[in-house]
Amino acid sequence: MQLSDKHKLKAAITGVGGYLPDDILTNSDLEKMVDTSDEWIVTRTGIRERRLLKIANKGTSYLCVKAIEDLLSKTDTDPLTIDAVILATVTPDFQVSPTSSVIISEIGAHNAFGFDLSAACSGFLYALSTATSYVSSGRYQKVIVVGGDMMSSLVDYTDRTTCILFGDGAGAVLIEPSQNGFGFEDEYCRSDGYNQMLLGVKAGGSLYPTSIETVKNKWHKLYQDGPTVYKRAVSEMYNATFEILKRNGLDADTIDFFLAHQANKRIIDSTANRIGIDSVKVLLNIDRYGNTTCATIPLLLYDYENQFKIGSKMIITAFGGGFTWGSAYLTWAY
């Protein structure tokens, strides 16, 4: 049965919160740790510094709770009214028990359920897809999507090809039924598992459980084939965004803001160039935070929230390990 447009619910982002830990790791700090230079890092990636969570016995849940507390306070939301919390992350506090449960208890959302969603750097996009479907189905009214990662827990700080790229942080959004017709409009998401070994963490899962050998081999640290990932990221973010624009009757000029996963400034610029999006519409914070994996897009929303107007047209696009990728079209609701 098709619902008439009159009865269709649209889900919208109705608030944004964020959190970055205080400790800063600059390029000059990295120069003392590995054979690299500020000039190489800035020209190849656009990154100048990143934040690291260095508080003892704190993990990803800590970053996410801080971001959600900010969101709840800014939107004056009672945590008891929250129906669900979806956490996008690649660095859960533990295996098996979901970090979203810890978050739900810590924020006092005692009427909510939640789960962790794992889709590498596309995690926030996929979680947004899930949450907006929950709300537009009419089943739930208030869903929090939080993207948070403590990448410093996976990074090998002796490997110059990866340690310069990543940082820690979290961003959260509230999803509710739209009151004015603006909100989540469309999405195009895809996955492809043929290239799993190009980006990821080899051990600690069911294929290579933790052993003395896996630890000795550093198989619990992040690795990637940077140049191959780079090329695929540009082409898939371009393809997904092209599809979204085409099927919504949009062209690059009609888009107000372009929010791409912050993995490398050159990837973002190349993708935006191929689509034809003016550089003033391309939102960036990679220079200050590096790649925070599932947190990059909500942290863009957090940093640029004041520039958005009701009805602003925006594209969100991401690409990550797996591979996973996609693009979403939103109209800003507040």
Rounded to 10 degrees, the C-alpha dihedral 120/183/258/148 comes to -30
Q: Name the token pair of 146.
A: 């939080």
The verdict on 292 binding ligand COA (CB under 6 A) reads no
Identified catalytic residue from 27, 64, 291, 294: 291
Residue 64 sits at φ, ψ, to 5 deg, of: -70, -40
The verdict on 36 binding ligand COA (CB under 6 A) reads yes
Identified catalytic residue from 27, 64, 163, 261: 261
Rounded to 10 degrees, the C-alpha dihedral 124/125/127/128 comes to 110
Catalytic residue check, 291: yes
Q: CA nearest 44: which of 158, 165, 155, 152?
A: 165
Distance CA 92, CA 21 (A): 17
Identified catalytic residue from 27, 64, 121, 294: 121
The verdict on 320 binding ligand COA (CB under 6 A) reads yes
Nearer to ligand COA, 158 or 161 (CB): 161
Distance CA 321, CA 264 (A): 14
CB of 37 to ligand COA, least distance (A): 6
The verdict on 48 binding ligand COA (CB under 6 A) reads no
Catalytic residue check, 7: no
Contacts to ligand COA from residues 198-257, by CB under 6 A: 199, 224, 226-227, 229-230, 233
Distance CA 287, CA 222 (A): 21
CB of 230 to ligand COA, least distance (A): 4
* Residues binding ligand COA (CB under 6 A): 36, 40, 44-45, 121, 160-161, 164, 199, 224, 226-227, 229-230, 233, 263-264, 267, 319-320
Question: Which amino acids are annotated catalytic?
Answer: 121, 261, 291
